[in-house]
Amino acid sequence: MVGGGNLDAESLRILGERNPGDVIFTGEVSESDKCRYFATADIFCAPATGQESFGIVLLEAMAARKPIIATSIEGYSSVITNGIDGILVPPKNDSALADAIKSLLNTPKLLDTISNNGHKKVEQFQWNKIARSIMDMYIACLNSKVSAKNE
C-alpha cells in the first residue's frame, strides 16, 4: 500500500483480524519511488471512498500501462470508462473489488485490453493539450467580454 494518510478504524479492525503478512504500508513515497512501484505492479487498485476531485493517480497508472480498478466515485468516474480503460466498483464494496481483481488476473486478454486502452486515453491529458484547452477558454471568455462591451 503506497501513499499517505491514516487508516480508519474499520480498516485497522479488518487488518487486525486477518493479519496479512504480505501487505506492506510504505506511507508517502518520492516521485521516483512511485514510478518504480507503478513499474512493478500487476494491477493498480484505487479503492477510495470519496473526496477525490480528479484521478491524477489514475492517469499516472495509465501512463505506466497498468490496468486500473477504482471505485466509482465522482473524481475517478470522470477519468475511467468502466470496462474500457479500467474497472469501476462501488465504494466500500469489498466483494466487488475482489471480484474485479480476480477477473483481471484470470482474464489476461481483458487485463491487456484495459492496460492498452488506458495508455491510449492518457494521451488526451498531456499538459500541452490541457494548457491549450484552458488558453482557448480564456481567449473565448475575453473575446465575449470585449464583444459585450462594444455592443
The single-letter code of the amino acid at 91 is P
Mean pLDDT of 132-151: 83
pLDDT digits (tens, 9 = 90+) for 9-53: 887 888 888 878 777 888 899 889 998 999 999 999 999 988 887
pTM flag (> 0.75): yes
Q: Rounded to whole angstroms, how far apart are CA atoms 93 and 76?
A: 16
Q: Rounded to whole angstroms, how far apart are CA atoms 40 and 65?
A: 11
Q: What pLDDT does residue 51 have?
A: 80
Among candidate residues 47, 127, 58, 139, the one with its CA nearest the CA of residue 89: 47
**Residue 146 pLDDT greater than 80, yes or no:** no
Among candidate residues 92, 88, 64, 93, the one with its CA nearest the CA of residue 76: 88
pLDDT mean across residues, the chain = 90
| Domains contained in the chain, CATH given | 1-40 (no CATH), 42-123 (3.40.50.2000)
